[in-house]
């Protein structure tokens, strides 16, 4: 059921701006900021990264409004398997980080971090494989940080660690297509992330045959329904992931993953990342248990909203951004 879009005044009245420290630096940030809302269908979240343009961020707002003001689609599972996520950190921190993801037998490792070397990546991946054991699945995510030549060199160096897939090794669809045979020759697959969520045409990578699977996120694709439509049309297996969301944003991703048929869900999803935050907006955090998360909507907790309230200048910044993004929403969403 589609409800009328809430007014900007209603959104601002329902909004809480929070700033939550991360347990380790992630994507170059040490504090995760987000706007969460009290809404008719339950709590919802708007948390595009600060560097995103208003046009990009408006899609995230569209998702927040849909999740908070429209009924969610039906689900076919009540729990979703999740992977552990290891940021681009020192290898000696790997056991400590993995301990926050109990029962997870799949791990995604960040690589190609600016300012780091391939040797740093190899050391981190080696530490994860040692902690994970020989049977666990190990994935890497380069966030488009390599050229094709750099990706080939990196995959050669990382092949001994038996990679399940490499996520967005290069920035463009053409580069992914060029690299795909090399990845297969090295015993791994390619997953596309930014080529889906930051593309003007999220189906281009599937049409080009440039990836084996897709990584999708509900917020940047405009909401659970739109993301699900893209997945179904693409026809490739997917991993549902997050953008270092609070438990509220994670719940949105869980509802997307739980709505997909078995043949389109490609394994453990990247939705366990609340474990990387040093706080949350709910007393019922969505943290991995036996390698899975329950599909539910945790309520906002007033004490935690107060504990992690953003400084006044950041509260103002986010509210002004929200207002700009609201004016950029398509009229058809009203």
Summarize the annotated binding site for Mg(2+) as residue ranges: 141, 167, 193
The one catalytic residue in 217, 225, 297, 304 is 217
Provide Rg for the chain, Cα atoms.
Answer: 19
CA atoms within a 13 Å half-sphere pointing along the CA-CB vector of 195: 30
Q: Is 108 a catalytic residue?
A: no
> d(Cα 116, Cα 254) in Å, to the nearest integer?
32
Determine the Cα–Cα distance for residues 55 and 245; give it in Å rounded to an integer: 20
- The number of angstroms, rounded, from the C-alpha of 116 to the middle of its chain's C-alpha atoms is 22
Tell me the C-alpha distance between 79 and 291, whole Å. Answer: 10
Decide: 64 and 36 in contact? Cβ < 8 Å. no
Render the burial of 218-231: b for 16+ CB within 10 Å, e for the rest: bbbbbbbbbbbebb
Q: How far is CA 101 from CA 86, 170, 216, in A?
A: 10, 28, 21
Contacts of 16 (CB under 8 A, 6+ apart): 35, 36, 37, 38, 281, 300, 305, 309
Instruction: Say which of 32, 110, 124, 255 is annotated catalytic.
Output: 110
Quick check: helix, strand or coil at residue 64?
helix
**Helix ranges restricted to H, 117-172:** 118-132, 148-158
As annotated, the active-site residues are 110, 217
């Amino acid at each position: 059921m589609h409800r009328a879009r809430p007014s900007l005044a209603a959104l601002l009245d329902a909004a809480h701006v929070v700033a939550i420290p991360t347990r380790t630096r992630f994507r170059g940030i040490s504090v995760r900021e987000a706007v969460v809302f009290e809404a008719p269908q339950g709590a919802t979240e708007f948390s595009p990264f600060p560097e995103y343009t208003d046009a990009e961020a408006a899609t995230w707002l569209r998702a927040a409004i849909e999740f908070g003001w429209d009924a969610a689609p039906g689900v076919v599972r009540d729990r979703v398997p999740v992977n552990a996520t290891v940021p681009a950190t020192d290898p000696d921190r790997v056991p400590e980080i993995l301990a926050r993801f109990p029962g997870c037998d799949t791990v995604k490792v960040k690589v190609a971090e600016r300012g780091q070397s391939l040797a740093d990546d190899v050391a981190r991946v080696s530490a994860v494989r040692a902690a994970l054991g020989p049977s666990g699945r190990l994935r890497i995510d380069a966030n488009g940080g390599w050229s094709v030549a750099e990706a080939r060199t990196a995959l050669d160096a990382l092949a001994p660690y038996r990679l399940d897939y490499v996520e967005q090794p290069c920035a463009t669809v053409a580069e992914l297509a060029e690299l795909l045979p090399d990845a297969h020759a090295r015993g791994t697959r390619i997953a596309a992330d930014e080529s889906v969520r930051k593309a003007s045409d999220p189906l281009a990578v599937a049409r080009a045959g440039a990836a084996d699977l897709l990584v999708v996120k509900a917020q940047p694709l405009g909401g659970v329904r739109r993301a699900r439509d893209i997945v179904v049309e693409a026809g490739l297996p997917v991993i549902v992931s997050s953008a270092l969301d609070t438990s509220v944003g994670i719940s949105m991703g869980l509802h997307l993953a739980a709505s997909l048929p078995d043949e389109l869900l490609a394994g453990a999803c990247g939705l366990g990342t609340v474990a990387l935050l040093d706080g949350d907006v709910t007393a019922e955090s969505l943290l991995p248990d036996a390698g899975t998360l329950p599909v539910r909507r945790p309520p906002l907790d007033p004490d935690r909203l107060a504990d992690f309230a953003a400084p006044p200048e950041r509260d103002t910044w986010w509210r002004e951004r929200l207002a700009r993004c609201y004016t950029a929403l398509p009229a058809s969403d009203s």
